[in-house]
Amino acid sequence: MTMARLIDAVERRPQAVFAGFLVVHGLIWTALPSLLYFNLPVDVIEALTYGREWQLGYDKLPPLPWWMVEAAYQVFGTDAAIYALGQIAVIVAFVAVWLTARPLVGSTGALAAILIIDGMHYFNFSAAKFNHNVSELPFWALAGFAFCAGLRHGRLRHWILLGIALGLAWWAKYFVVILAAPLAAFLLFDRDARRRLAGPGPWIAAAVALMVVAPHLIWLAHNDFLPFSYAEARATTPRGVLDHLLNPAIYVVGQAYFLIPTLLIAVPLLWPPSKTPPRTNADAFDRRIVTLLAFGPALTLLAFSLLTGRGTNAMWGFPLWLFLGLWIVLFAPAALDRVRLLWIGVLWLTVSAIFVAAFLADYLVLPPLDHRFRAALFPGVELSAAITQRFEAATGHEPKYVIGSTWDGGNVAHYAAQRPQPRVLIDGLPRAAPWIDLADLRARGAVLVWTDGDLHALPPDFAAIAPGAEIGTPFELPLHRDDGTVHVGWAILRPQSK
């Protein structure tokens, strides 16, 4: 097919082309980790360690992403299903952005908006590691779509969807307050948006959101808001007045760096100059809404860093720029003609090829050269088999409990051949895994595993929870595609009579 025919197909059937893009995007970024990873990433092993317990809350983060990972694995039984889960989250987010964009800039403009934001690693390279950042994408995008539709049309179904999306986003990651705050401020201070407060829509959205989050809020109240301590620790504490400038600057520079490929894809809408003005269906109110969605959360996070002096995490940027492509298409000085659409496609394809090449190089070429730890090359299957075999040899049965970190213990549990898989007493701390019955653990025995510190002595927390555990001879396992090794300490807590 010639390039001219391809452009004709895009202009005639942009919805079909968009659907094809989603399929190709999902297949590529599901296949790459499925083929190149020997081991699940750190965040996914953590998700499986926590998720199989099906608690309303945990000590670190909200539970929904961990439930999603556990459900995907239980239904399909393969690690590939978890990689696909990440792409499903991305695809749902893209569809929500598309639905927001299409009434404003048309189907072709909506496609261009999606191609532009796909230049960010958040939606491809990094989405292979499903975690709370990835899980919030669909709910964040759906909230943006519902908010825009609710303001433009005032239909109750959109406000109900907004409440559901914000509520589920809270279950996914508390970071959703960075979105909710500017949405609420816009309703209060924008002259056209404020009129909606006279109707039931925004209040219904708030009530629905509260109902959705209520079970977790109750859990938080009963558990002293335990996860917030973890969240606070993730934001670097300021050391002085200078941090009120330095940390925001680091945040801006980091996000600007990640946006470079996206801005490159968008160049045809900015240059060369055009005498033909863009054609859109958006009025001034629509433009203010899109500007809010594109920049409001990012500016809110910047204001947070400026006021508190706290640092931010670069990966918090996952959902911030979902509507940036739409904003660029909407405010571009040039109309989206055939030539500019062609160049957007060419640049998107180039950026995507670079991301794929970088992914391949990171897991095929670089490991024996840079010796950087890559969780995906960890010998989790071998570790689980080795630990399980040692416990069976000593006790005559498979381990029901593992005492270890979410990484060490989680790998042993996830890659265990037995069903059900052993449960993990995280870090040997009952407060980190209050669902573990310590009496049952001692009655059935447990295997202890660690890969840091003195491999010939029990870590202090392990010794406190499992006195009398018999320490075995440490052993080594080779990393995949690397000449490095993993040094393993282990011990056995034999079953104790009741």
DSSP string, 89-157: HHHHHHHHHHHHHHHHHHHHHHHHHHHHHTTSGGGTTGGGS-SHHHHHHHHHHHHHHHHHHHHHH--HH
Please, what sign has the CA dihedral across residues 207, 235, 319, 45?
Answer: negative
Farthest-apart Cα atoms in the chain, separation: 86
Q: What's the pLDDT score for residue 278?
A: 74
Spatial distance between the Cα atoms of 192 and 280, rounded to a whole number of angstroms: 20
C-beta of residue 348 within 8 angstroms of C-beta of residue 118: yes
Provide φ and ψ at 110, rounded to 5°: -65, -40
Q: What's the pLDDT score for residue 4?
A: 61
Q: What's the pLDDT score for residue 479?
A: 96
User: Of how many residues is the chain composed?
Assistant: 498
C-beta of residue 399 within 8 angstroms of C-beta of residue 422: yes
Q: In this structure, what DSSP letter does residue 428 have?
A: T
Query: Which amino acid does the sequence have at 341?
Result: L
If one counts every other C-beta atom within 10 angstroms of the C-beta of residue 83, the result is 26
pLDDT averaged per 10 residues, the chain (length 498) = 63 86 97 97 97 94 97 96 97 98 93 96 95 97 98 95 98 97 98 96 98 97 88 73 91 96 95 76 95 98 93 92 97 87 94 97 94 95 97 95 97 94 96 95 97 95 94 96 94 86
288 token code pair: 């203010």
Residue with tokens 């995507």: 352
Spatial distance between the Cα atoms of 306 and 310, rounded to a whole number of angstroms: 8
Q: What's the pLDDT score for residue 396?
A: 93
SS3 378: coil
100 token code pair: 């927001």
Spatial distance between the Cα atoms of 348 and 21, rounded to a whole number of angstroms: 11
- In three-state form (DSSP H/G/I as H, E/B as E, the rest C), the secondary structure along 39-81 is CCCHHHHHHHHHHCCCCCCCCCCCCHHHHHHHHHHHHHCCHHH
Q: Which residues of 335-347 are buried (b: 16+ CB within 10 A; e: fewer)?
A: ebeeebbbebbeb
Residue 373: partners with Cβ closer than 8 Å, 6 or more residues away: none
Cα torsion for 185, 190, 195, 198, to the nearest 10°?
A: 20
